[in-house]
Amino acid sequence: MKKEDNLVVRYSDKDLGSFKKIIEEKISKAQRDLELIRSAYMNDGNNGTEDTSPTFKAFEEGSQTMSKEANTQLAIRQEKFIRDLKNALIRIENKTYGICRVTGKLISKKRLKLVPHATLSIEAKNNIS
C-alpha cells in the first residue's frame, strides 16, 4: 500500500502488476470456457436419433432446447465475467484498482485474489445486501 500526498491510499505498482497477471490468466481461461460453451450450443446436436422412436426423439429435442437455453445463459454470464475482468484491467491502468467504490478503502488482497473484478469491500457488500 502506498500513501500519497493527498492521503489517497492505493495498491503499489508491484501489487497492481501481480493482480494484472491474475486477471489476464482468468480472462484467458474465461475466453476458452466461453468458446466451449458457444461450440456446445452451436452444435446441431445430431446424434443419429433419426432411426429411433418418435417419442425418444421428442424428448431429445426438448432436452436440446433446454440445453441451448442453459448454454445461452451460461455464455451471457461468461461474457459479463470477461467484461468485468477487462474493466478491472482498466482500473489497474488508472491505478484505482482495489479501491472500494462505496467506502473508498482498499479491498483486501485476499478478496481480490478470489474475486479479482470486485469493486466492493466485504464491509460495503454486506451493508448493501
Task: Look up the CATH number of the domain holding residue 68.
Answer: 1.20.120.910
Specify the number of domains making up the chain: 1
Domain containing 30 equals 2-128
Q: E-strand spans in the chain?
A: 2-3, 9-10
Per-residue pLDDT for the chain (129 aa), expressed as one digit of tens each?
Answer: 444 444 668 999 999 999 999 999 999 999 999 999 888 877 645 554 444 455 555 445 555 666 778 888 999 999 999 999 999 999 999 999 999 999 999 999 999 999 999 999 999 999 876
pTM of the model: 0.75
Task: Look at residue 31 in the predicted model and tell me its pLDDT.
Answer: 97
Please choose, from the candidates 84, 103, 107, 88, the residue with its C-alpha nearest in 3D space to the C-alpha of residue 10: 107
